[in-house]
Structure 1
């Protein structure tokens, strides 16, 4: 279903993809929104363009998309951009993302050993490592990974970012979408934080780290309608 017939016009939307994926992974979602309202980035381009040195001038109200949407690593980078004041969105949407990727005492996540193994493999053969990563976690084979998008720098972002306090104190309205049985982002991580009332957690019915791809139409509707009106997914706090 296309959204051209909806009376509500969506705010401009920026999309940031996860590790090893190009911006075109969002094509199923982009096709549900007016093309002139959407801009998509891979994680590498976003990190260099919005988190690089000298990018402070981007943090101007009204500059850049009003709604930012990030999947996995893309969501973490968006939270970091908000923390640094590089973006000032009217709304932030985090799709199967977490403020702290690595597990530690009292916090669910990926083990340091698993992360180190992936980083070693990506350091030797990034494209092959990304392909193996996708097979292991049942992620889409297409769009194909590239050496740039499978670079260890993306994994380093995941390891060093700890944005739990940022999310607890964030002033921007946030929608978080999680899925059961996600092997990379535990569905229960919000239980470990005292999230403010304007941070809303929503859960898909099915599992997997790329579950959002099966809900592109309902996610698109959520950008132009209140989530309570969305029949495509079940919400929960």
Structure 2
């Protein structure tokens, strides 16, 4: 069952909805918020259990209910952009509420996060370790996860600092949501359904990303229809909108804004 969420909307123009990743909240979009609000009516959503919605937990806490909770507040014909776990939620929404999504933007995310014999992704032991560490030390576990997100980027330390400062204004995530979120990252696999998406889908990947390998680019180009496009940022890791804001915004505006306004 989905749950009621608090959202915030700012700016003017076509509707753009942003979904953040695991362990953080919608404050993570702060580095690009002002630029986006010049061109879009931007709705910032804290996923259930995170940020201002830390007490809003659907039961059970799974991908379907996360997507239903967010879709309930989605304006019709929105550009829906999701980062990391938020990208997984965005894919689920696009698959099950397609009339609400005019265009899908998937940032450093995947239809399947956990590595397997036929798929590049996160080593299962890493996700299991985070799940175990959460109970022992919540803040340190999230800090370690942020460090992995920035790994490989030339500006890794600055990236982590920027992410932390952007999210600290909101309440800390609920530990039940964090634990369930890791389970979703371990188990979700939307690969078989992706080809059915009819709206334009744009993937934005970091070549140095250790959580969502850039090899996903090959999969998109070889196995998904022409409505899917990909940009790989050569020097970025898991958060290109923070580490390479200028390049990210240039790509976003070229592929998303211009076509949305046509």
**What's the TM-score bracket when you normalise by the shorter of the two chains?**
0.7 to 0.9
Report the CA distance shift for 1:32/1:151 in structure 2 as closer, same or farther (over 3 A). same
How do residues 180-191 of structure 1 correspond to structure 2 at under 5 angstroms?
Answer: 180-191=207-218
Deviation at 1:88, TM superposition (A): 2.6
Q: Does 1:165 align with 2:176?
A: no
- Partners of 1:154 and 1:111 in 2: how far apart? 16
Give the TM-score normalised by structure 2: 0.72
Matched with 1:232 is none
Matched with 2:154 is none
Structure 1 regions of 5+ residues with no counterpart? 228-237
Deviates more, 1:102-111 or 1:162-171: 162-171
- Partners of 2:229 and 2:116 in 1: how far apart? 24
- Partners of 2:184 and 2:195 in 1: how far apart? 20
Q: Does 1:225 align with 2:238?
A: no
Report the CA distance shift for 1:56/1:116 in structure 2 as closer, same or farther (over 3 A). closer
Residues 58 and 87, structure 1, Cα contact 8 Å, conserved in 2: no
Residues 180 and 204, structure 1, Cα contact 8 Å, conserved in 2: yes
Deviation at 1:34, TM superposition (A): 2.8
Residues 83 and 166, structure 1, Cα contact 8 Å, conserved in 2: yes
- Partners of 1:153 and 1:209 in 2: how far apart? 21
Residues 47 and 77, structure 1, Cα contact 8 Å, conserved in 2: no
- Partners of 2:69 and 2:134 in 1: how far apart? 31
Report the CA distance shift for 1:54/1:158 in structure 2 as closer, same or farther (over 3 A). closer
Residues 29 and 220, structure 1, Cα contact 8 Å, conserved in 2: no
Matched with 1:37 is 41
How do residues 89-104 of structure 1 correspond to structure 2 at under 5 angstroms?
Answer: 89-104=101-116
Q: How many pairs does the alignment contain? A: 219
Structure 2 regions of 5+ residues with no counterpart? 1-10, 151-159
- Partners of 2:206 and 2:122 in 1: how far apart? 16
Q: Does 1:52 align with 2:65?
A: yes
